[in-house]
Amino acid sequence: MTVKSSAPQAIKRYLKYALYRYRDSDNSEAAYYFAQLAFLLMCVCGDTPAKWRGVFREYDASDCRGSKQQSESVQMTYKQAITHCKKSVNMIAKDGIDTLLADEHEAFDRADVLEYPLYQQRWMTLRDYPVLYMIYEAADEALAIRTTRLMWQKILLYADMLDAPLEHPAVHLTDAYRACLKHFIILNTVGVLRTYKNDPAVLRDICVAVSLVADLLANDEVVKWREISAICDQCAAAFRYGDDVALYRDYLKTLRATYQRAVNAYFDNTYQHKTPRHQDSSS
């Protein structure tokens, strides 16, 4: 198994800045994008949450769940929350993503059953429980808008890390799993570029973040990430003249197609043939 080196401080500092900038703004989707990017990079690089705590803390500062929760809401223990997630995710896997995409009411029910108990947990933060928190966010995303395959894949894939040590959830991830996480980075970026296509300031910040990621993943065997940097430079010039980011977005779509085969193979093997989701600790 090839494990990437720890993410450099430059990307951590930039994501911390971006989360501080957007956490209390009207651009909540941008803040969520940067939080997801931080989480995914932590996993891809095989880092511990402790190395990303300062970044995650900025996102936690925008968490408004505390002001909306009922004072008498039932508080689970960490183990109870894990058990709840596994039970809910097993039902999602049993139904199958295709079934949930075809039945909007069933999809809403499955997402609600998973999300609401997690929403009530005042102790659950991205900083202290990153995997659990991102499962909650993915379920909340599924409730907020029409569900997509990506949302359910996120929930299933993140749940695969629930059995890993809390202090190091990415310690035994396979290369196939990491390829799926990189695919999520691409899809998330394509989606947020589409959302903020008329907001040059947000687009600039996204492109800067992805250009830093390109350097981090430049030696990837599947995709030549360094090519993204050149496109980011073109985007930066385009912003000054009021053009859109069609070139950048189209390139990311080609990356999406490249990774899609790896993602399909992973989900087919994991949820149809029941192959192990993590490598043994001896790997």
CB proximity list for 60: less than 8 A, separation 6 or greater: 125, 126, 127
**Domain map of the chain by residue range?**
75-124+130-165
250/203: higher pLDDT? 203
The pLDDT of residue 264? 67
- This prediction's pTM: 0.78
pLDDT at 49: 93
Q: Read out DSSP for 161-197? A: TTTS-TT-TTTTB-HHHHHHHHHHHHHHHHHHHHHTT
pLDDT band at 85 (very low <50, low <70, confident <90, very high): very high
Please compute the mean of the pLDDT values over residues 204-222 and round it to a whole number: 66
Amino acid occupying residue 176 = A
Residue 279's Cβ-side half-sphere holds a number of Cα atoms within 13 Å equal to 15
**Contact call for residues 197 and 233 (beta carbons, < 8 A):** no
Measured between its terminal Cα atoms, the distance across the chain in Å is 7
pLDDT for position 244: 41
Residue pair 183/263 in contact (Cβ under 8 Å)? The answer is yes
Return the structure tokens found at 262: 């790896």
